[in-house]
Structure 1
């Protein structure tokens, strides 16, 4: 890497005065740098942008690989609970069957979300000090240690396994936050929706991979049935650690720290044509944000205009949960069994649901630039709300046709959700934050995402299980009503960020 090349770059934490001096005419009315840079970025179409800025596009995809582990971990947790040898090694015998206690199941499914909450918040502080690349490297090292604990955990040492899950959750929260912030800062405006939305694509691919692994290994009669699924996770942090030394650092991070020449070199490497113009755009945007708020504390995320930004960034993940994603997709196998499919066939159909999710994500990566963020997210909310009511109405009857309807609604929900709300959540929460507070806003968003997921995983079993409320598909009424309220909130408060530069 290049060293700092000027005396103005020697201050590691470049102050606003230093940047204003470097920019010079940042606030003069006749300076139209930001406008010129914005026009240049918007003049390139999506396909042309992928070709011109292919290095930026590919590095964004690379740094999003860690998100695979988020989806993999969630799916593998529920899958292992259905694996006979895992239940034997970490459960107890009850009436001739190996059973894992309900309280331990809840802990096993939720402890990763707790780790993700802390990881999401912590990485905001870490990334602002050591950079986006280094924060992904730290997450990879933590993940390797956590996987080691899970892989070598002896039978019936449930507490140790939970420790491994908790530590791994910490790394997962860091992965998601770092990937989203990195993609938002590396990508030109025409690619930003695609690259930030690809974070959710990686998550769904991780879920699909986990479903396939459990389907292929879960019936084994030795401990490889659950240890190989744990070991597979090692692949991804190792890939990241090998590739990260060659990945470009965020030019926004470098410019804010005063590494101007290194930021210039990164912009050149990413294929930016007018490097001086875009470097000046970054610097002036930093000055503009410093003009309104010089601090970069978490508290700043909830002050003045940043309060609205933060609320929107948090609400996109709250909306994902109140529209019933865990209820519908998490219980897809259950609905298939109600439709009359054998257990083995239900699991195969569950794999099909995640495959449909992949298709939905790919369509979203096309439509996010064509139709925009706001209309796509709103239509997704309305569509998922309608599906929830459909599941609720279907549950009134016990007929075979009604059970089939619930199963079909599950497939439709997966396509709608993963084609809109799922990936758009990561796009909106990455774009709506200010550049200065992005890593912290994104971190808080991941924290809320983990918290909502954890609460949903705790509450929904009490609504669905036969020995509790036993509402079954009637839970669709609850999430349908919540989804309707969420759709109204979306209509009034979610802004359109399509084709908007950071300064805009």
Structure 2
């Protein structure tokens, strides 16, 4: 395993700046493949934001006391359909990506997504079931988009850029949310059906961009080596990093890592996710998304525009606040990319959990008086929450779940993580309208007490079980998980010292 040690030393020698100079092509292609993640964020934000469009509530709901209202049941149905589709899409990635490659999986996503958008755009008035099916079909593609982007970024990026590129998947999601809020602000005041049809139609742009660029995109060298296409893998690495790189060394690193993992298990089925040491890796990869939901991301962000309106803001101000929330999120993601290699994944994730829990409690306390004078204060804390979330658990969740998975099971682990993400999102989207809506529990901002408490519990779990994956190569992480290193000791664990002790 000499190649592993030599390649690891070579990768550790890179700083993010020197890595991006050498691997700028790899970083650029990672961003291209991540465009699909933009649609995930766009769809999620449209689901909540479009509820604030009066013509949508009129065409798919009913008039109550002279106002158009969409029932909580249909709100939950529309918002959870994409999550249900995403669950199956994420789970299917393991089979599709392992068989047809990362590029083939993205191409399939584009075709399915185009069909789902078509169904949503052409849904007639009051044909709620057809719209539901369209969101379900599109959701299937969205689950695969995000899973594939995370896998691709993790496999194509060098160590120094791995966290930045995988974390950028969340940045693309936030960009999608920002675009969605901007589109809804521009079209939401229309009184015809295009107030909500135009936001659906804009989604067609991105599958078209991906399909146009995919023929030129490099395939994952890890997938090529696993399929025995070594020369093609060398050509891809040369294309991504330039001809001066030691191609044989890096291909041998991939080979030996795969061989190291195959010694532990000869198969790579979905059942292997729950066997032996992989169970721990699967739990961590899944829990980062569970923790995002228990921290209240759907409550604070997914329903922000709708919540502002319920709190008494005019439609125009509610739309602007929704755009402001996502704009702050973009800034937070950029700062996370600049700081995660310095402070580490574990540090930012854990303190992000603390911050989100605190802000949830503050929003809840402000909601107790039930006065409009606290509305702007609650709006400010919504902005603060998004900044805290997007500099911590938002992007770091995508980094951690891609890094803790083994190379052999990466597409399956990542896909399962997205399944859990979609499942938790679906549950949140079903439950929260009943908690927030005036015609149901009518808790409003006091829902923050629930997510503040859950976030505090989640913070304790994260402290004991989220490992530090910064500056660890794939094979180093394999060894540390095999040796059952405590999550709290990942950052200071010395492989060379441990190896020396084992020899004596």
The TM-score, its normalising length taken from structure 2, stands at 0.91
Aligned equivalent of 2:440, options 453, 464, 468 = 468
- Are the aligned partners of 1:335 and 1:403 in contact in 2 as well (CA < 8 Å)? no
- Are the aligned partners of 2:49 and 2:303 in contact in 1 as well (CA < 8 Å)? no
1:16 aligns to what? none
Instruction: Return the offset for 1:403.
Output: 3.8
Aligned equivalent of 1:265, options 235, 244, 253 = 235
- SS of the residue aligned with 2:52? coil
Instruction: Return the offset for 1:92.
Output: 3.5
Per-residue CA distance 1:26-54 (angstroms, 9 max, x = gap): xxxxx422111011111111111111101
1:306 aligns to what? 278
2:163 aligned with 1:193, yes or no?
A: yes
- Are the aligned partners of 1:339 and 1:407 in contact in 2 as well (CA < 8 Å)? no
- Are the aligned partners of 2:270 and 2:412 in contact in 1 as well (CA < 8 Å)? yes
Task: Give the 3 Å change call, closer, same or farther, for CA 342–87 of structure 1 in structure 2.
Answer: closer
Unaligned runs of 5+ in 1: 1-30
Task: Give the 3 Å change call, closer, same or farther, for CA 109–331 of structure 1 in structure 2.
Answer: closer
Instruction: Return the offset for 1:336.
Output: 4.2
> What CA distance in whole angstroms lies between the structure 1 residues aligned with 2:30 and 2:427?
31
Question: How do 1:47-196 and structure 2 match up within 5 A?
Answer: 47-196=17-166
> What CA distance in whole angstroms lies between the structure 1 residues aligned with 2:463 and 2:60?
47
Task: Give the 3 Å change call, closer, same or farther, for CA 229–333 of structure 1 in structure 2.
Answer: closer
Number of residues of Structure 1 aligned to a counterpart in Structure 2: 474
Instruction: Return the offset for 1:398.
Output: 4.1
Unaligned runs of 5+ in 2: 477-504
Instruction: Return the offset for 1:359.
Output: 0.6
Aligned equivalent of 2:462, options 490, 493, 499 = 490
- Are the aligned partners of 1:79 and 1:211 in contact in 2 as well (CA < 8 Å)? yes
1:397 aligns to what? 369
Per-residue CA distance 1:303-328 (angstroms, 9 max, x = gap): 00100000000000000011111112
Per-residue CA distance 1:60-107 (angstroms, 9 max, x = gap): 000000011111111112232222332333333444444333322221
> What CA distance in whole angstroms lies between the structure 2 residues aligned with 1:47 and 1:477?
42
Instruction: Return the offset for 1:241.
Output: 0.6
- 150-159 vs 303-312, greater mean Cα deviation: 150-159
- SS of the residue aligned with 1:503? helix
Task: Give the 3 Å change call, closer, same or farther, for CA 215–402 of structure 1 in structure 2.
Answer: closer
> What CA distance in whole angstroms lies between the structure 2 residues aligned with 1:53 and 1:287?
26
> What CA distance in whole angstroms lies between the structure 1 residues aligned with 2:307 and 2:433?
14
2:294 aligned with 1:317, yes or no?
A: no
Deviant stretches of 4+, over 6 Å: none
Instruction: Return the offset for 1:473.
Output: 2.4
> What CA distance in whole angstroms lies between the structure 2 residues aligned with 1:78 and 1:378?
28
- 405-414 vs 438-447, greater mean Cα deviation: 405-414
1:7 aligns to what? none
> What CA distance in whole angstroms lies between the structure 1 residues aligned with 2:161 and 2:428?
33
Question: How do 1:16-55 and structure 2 match up within 5 A?
Answer: 31-55=1-25
Instruction: Return the offset for 1:334.
Output: 5.5
Instruction: Return the offset for 1:420.
Output: 0.8
- SS of the residue aligned with 1:466? coil
- 242-251 vs 268-277, greater mean Cα deviation: 268-277
